[in-house]
């Protein structure tokens, strides 16, 4: 399932109103994260995996405290597996790489582990 960034971003914007001229700051976009993940240097591979694992923990924290909808992700996931899922998503959908990387981590995992209704 492919989530559409404009719809996701409109939800995020509605949830956190900002002044009219404010710029959205993010440490990582899909583009910068994918560049780290593709880099063969060990420190970049570590930075890629660490960012993705940190984003997953942040999302799970938001679910835990009730600030986000529950996910249908496995209770325990391997860091390398999660990295492969996210990198595959970023490579498959280059048009979405300008979005915040943390949002794309969530979208990639929701696509891999959709909730059955």
Q: Average per-residue pLDDT in the chain?
A: 85
Question: Ramachandran region of residue 14, left (φ > 0), alpha (ψ -120 to 50) or beta?
Answer: alpha
How many DSSP H helices and E strands does the chain contain? 5, 0
Q: What is the pLDDT of residue 24?
A: 66
Please report the domains of the chain, with CATH numbers, ordered by start residue.
Answer: 28-112 (1.10.890.40)
State residue 48's pLDDT score.
97
Q: What is the pLDDT of residues 19-73, one digit of tens each?
A: 444 556 779 999 999 999 999 999 999 999 999 999 999 999 999 999 999 999 9
pLDDT at 116: 85
Residue 69: both structure tokens together: 């909808």
The predicted-structure confidence for 82-111, as pLDDT tens digits, reads as follows 999 999 999 999 999 999 999 999 999 999
* 37: number of Cβ within 10 Å: 20
The reported pLDDT for the residue numbered 26 is: 77
Which distant-in-sequence residues (6+ apart) come within 8 Å of 102 by Cβ?
A: 26, 28, 55, 58, 59
Predicted pLDDT at 18: 43
Residue 51's DSSP bridge partners are none
**Which two structure tokens, joined as six digits, stand for 16?**
């956190």
């Amino acid at each position: 399932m492919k989530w559409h960034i404009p719809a996701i971003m409109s939800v995020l914007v509605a949830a956190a109103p900002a002044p009219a001229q404010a710029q959205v700051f993010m440490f990582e976009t899909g583009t910068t994260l994918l560049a780290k993940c593709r880099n063969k240097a060990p420190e970049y591979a570590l930075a890629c995996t660490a960012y993705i694992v940190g984003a997953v923990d942040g999302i799970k924290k938001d679910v835990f405290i009730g600030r986000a909808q529950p996910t249908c992700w496995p209770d325990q996931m391997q860091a390398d597996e999660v990295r492969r899922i996210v990198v595959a998503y970023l490579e498959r959908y280059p048009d979405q790489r300008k979005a915040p990387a943390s949002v794309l981590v969530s979208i990639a995992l929701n696509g891999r582990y959709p909730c059955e209704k």
